[in-house]
């Protein structure tokens, strides 16, 4: 089973994106020992069985309340194959703060969903998607969750697999660098 965690700031449209991805096949659970609920849904994307988890909204990975604490715990415990970070396109900076934190502290493959794209367009907010993709080195997909616009692009298994492979390659490079460093140190010590 392929596991996707849907994360992001509160009120960015995570649950609407979640419903778009999973439909009616969902299970609501209570996080053990707390009053915080979260929802898991099941679907098929590109022929793969997929579990999607709607993680409680969080502003950062330094939790300020129980819901944020659980978001962090789920990030650590669920071992996702992919994280979809939902960002409110009208609050890009705030959203990117969490995205950078996730990238810095966790090595999970990541895709950014720039949701509320309709509102951003309506407000005349211009976002250079090409530049954002270049800087971040990951897919950034604009969506309007309430109309379903962009959800197909978001749930593109080909792209998801590419992100995962790119990540694996990078970890391998990092791994090799680590090995090289150790070899150099060994030579120095000898």
Ligand X SMILES: Nc1nc2c(ncn2[C@@H]2O[C@H](COP(=O)(O)OP(=O)(O)OP(=O)(O)O)[C@@H](O)[C@H]2O)c(=O)[nH]1
Helix-strand-coil split of the chain, %, nearest 5: 45, 25, 30
**Distant-in-sequence, close-in-space partners of 35: CB < 8 Å, separation ≥ 6:** 66
Q: How far is the CB of 113 from Mg ion (least distance, A)?
A: 13
Rg (CA), the chain: 18
Q: Do residues 41 and 26 make contact, with C-beta atoms less than 8 angstroms apart?
A: yes
Query: What count of residues does the chain have?
Result: 190
Interface with Mg ion includes 60 (CB under 5 A)? no
Q: How far is the CB of 39 from Mg ion (least distance, A)?
A: 8
- Whichever of 129 and 165 has its CB closer to ligand X, that residue is 129
Provide the token pair at 153: 């692009």
- Whichever of 102 and 145 has its CB closer to ligand X, that residue is 145
- Name residues contacting ligand X, limited to 39-98 (CB under 6 A): 57
**Among 42-50, 75-83, 100-108, 116-124, the segment contacting ligand X (CB under 6 A):** 116-124
Under the rule (CB under 6 A), what is the footprint of ligand X? 8, 10-16, 57, 115-116, 118-119, 144-146
């Amino acid at each position: 089973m392929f596991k996707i965690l849907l994360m992001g700031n509160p009120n960015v449209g995570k649950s609407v994106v979640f419903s778009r991805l999973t439909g009616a096949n969902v299970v609501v659970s209570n996080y053990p020992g707390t009053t915080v609920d979260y929802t898991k849904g099941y679907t098929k994307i590109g022929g793969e069985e997929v579990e999607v988890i709607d993680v409680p909204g969080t502003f950062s990975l330094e939790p300020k309340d129980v819901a944020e604490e659980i978001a962090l715990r789920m990030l650590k415990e669920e071992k996702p194959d992919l994280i979809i970070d939902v960002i409110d396109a009208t609050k890009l900076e705030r959203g990117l703060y969490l995205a950078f934190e996730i990238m810095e502290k966790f090595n999970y493959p990541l895709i950014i969903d720039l949701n509320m794209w309709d509102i951003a367009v309506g407000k005349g907010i211009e976002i250079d998607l090409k530049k954002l993709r270049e800087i971040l080195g990951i897919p950034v997909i604009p969506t309007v969750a309430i109309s379903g616009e962009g959800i197909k692009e978001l749930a593109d298994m080909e792209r998801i697999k590419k992100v995962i492979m790119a990540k694996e390659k990078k970890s391998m490079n990092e791994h090799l660098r680590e090995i090289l460093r150790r070899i150099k140190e060994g030579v120095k010590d000898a």
